């Protein structure tokens, strides 16, 4: 895997650094095309990164009304549930900056026409992704400017867990049942959709993730360690704190920051 690794001192510094990097990347995309697209992740560091964007004086460099926001996965829970990634992202960032509601694309919640049916919800989200895809594109989903991912101690990304059938699914979005961490029912982008992104950033903190990071950047396959299969078309960036980087193999394209 052709990946770059950047190591920061701790989780707090990591979140601040990723937020600064993200603001710059989105501003650059808008300078080139007038708009930008971003796929959000949940988790402690993912949400801390969004809060750091909100606090940053530099966030005014981005026209947030011209940013399309998507999600990599979601807990299939009722709208507004505090465990939903959408709810946490709104609290941390989306409700505080001038995003265009029409350009914010949460995954469907468990309710209404989707009650008890994550497969139908996944199909609806895939349809929405396809509708946003440029004419003539070589994929059925947009080429996101940045797709953020966390990594679990077991190596999962989004809601793609080791050995799960979804790892071999070529649909854009799938329903996930029996997730080993609660809640068990989820919706997730698949690896082909993740790989359609221009850049994939894996943001990881904590010594409980060190073994998974080591395997993902080593010889592990994506069935065993799904994070090993998460890569961008043009760039794959691992953004780690020192604890998550503790077991990295030598010889990687890596850079440590103060």
**Model confidence at 3, in pLDDT bands (50, 70, 90)?**
confident
- DSSP type of residue 129: H
Cβ-contact 18, 49 below 8 angstroms: yes
pTM, two decimals, is 0.95
Q: DSSP E strands: which ranges in 109-210?
A: 146-149, 173-176, 186-189, 199-204
pLDDT digits (tens, 9 = 90+) for 153-203: 999 999 999 999 999 999 999 999 999 999 999 999 999 999 999 999 999
What tokens appear for 176 in the block? 């996930």
Cβ-contact 9, 241 below 8 angstroms: yes
Is pLDDT above 60 for 258?
no
* Helix pair 44-55, 11-33: axis angle to 10 deg: 60
CATH node for 4-256: 3.40.50.1360
Cβ-contact 45, 205 below 8 angstroms: yes
pLDDT digits (tens, 9 = 90+) for 39-86: 999 999 999 999 999 999 999 999 999 999 999 999 999 999 999 999
* CA–CA distance, 91 with 217 (Å, rounded to integer): 33
Residues belonging to the chain:
258
Average pLDDT value for the chain: 95
pLDDT digits (tens, 9 = 90+) for 94-123: 999 999 999 999 999 999 999 999 999 999
What tokens appear for 1 in the block? 């895997």
**146 beta partners:** 38
Where do the domains of the chain lie? 4-256
* Span between the terminal Cα atoms of the chain, in Å: 26
């Amino acid at each position: 895997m052709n990946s770059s690794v950047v190591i920061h001192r701790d989780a707090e510094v990591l979140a601040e650094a990723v937020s600064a990097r993200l603001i710059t990347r989105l501003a650059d995309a808008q300078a080139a095309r007038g708009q930008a697209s971003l796929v959000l992740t949940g988790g402690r560091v993912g949400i801390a990164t969004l809060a750091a964007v909100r606090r940053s004086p530099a966030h005014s460099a981005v026209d947030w009304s011209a940013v399309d926001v998507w999600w990599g996965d979601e807990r299939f829970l009722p709208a507004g549930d505090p465990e939903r990634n959408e709810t946490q992202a709104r609290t941390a960032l989306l409700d505080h900056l001038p995003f265009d509601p029409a350009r914010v694309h949460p995954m469907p919640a468990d309710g209404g026409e989707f009650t008890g049916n994550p497969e139908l919800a996944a199909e609806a989200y895939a349809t929405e992704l396809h509708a946003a895809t440029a004419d003539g594109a070589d994929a059925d989903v947009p080429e996101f400017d940045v797709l953020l991912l966390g990594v679990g101690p077991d190596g999962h990304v989004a809601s793609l867990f080791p050995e799960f059938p979804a790892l071999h699914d070529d649909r854009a979005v799938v329903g996930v049942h029996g997730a080993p961490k609660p809640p068990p029912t989820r919706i997730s982008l698949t690896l082909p959709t993740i790989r359609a992104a221009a850049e994939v950033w894996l943001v990881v903190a904590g010594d409980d993730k060190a073994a998974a990071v080591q395997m993902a950047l080593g010889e592990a396959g994506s069935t065993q360690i799904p994070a090993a299969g998460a890569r961008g078309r043009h760039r794959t960036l691992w953004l780690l704190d020192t604890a998550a980087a503790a077991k990295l193999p030598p010889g990687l394209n890596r850079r440590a920051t103060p």
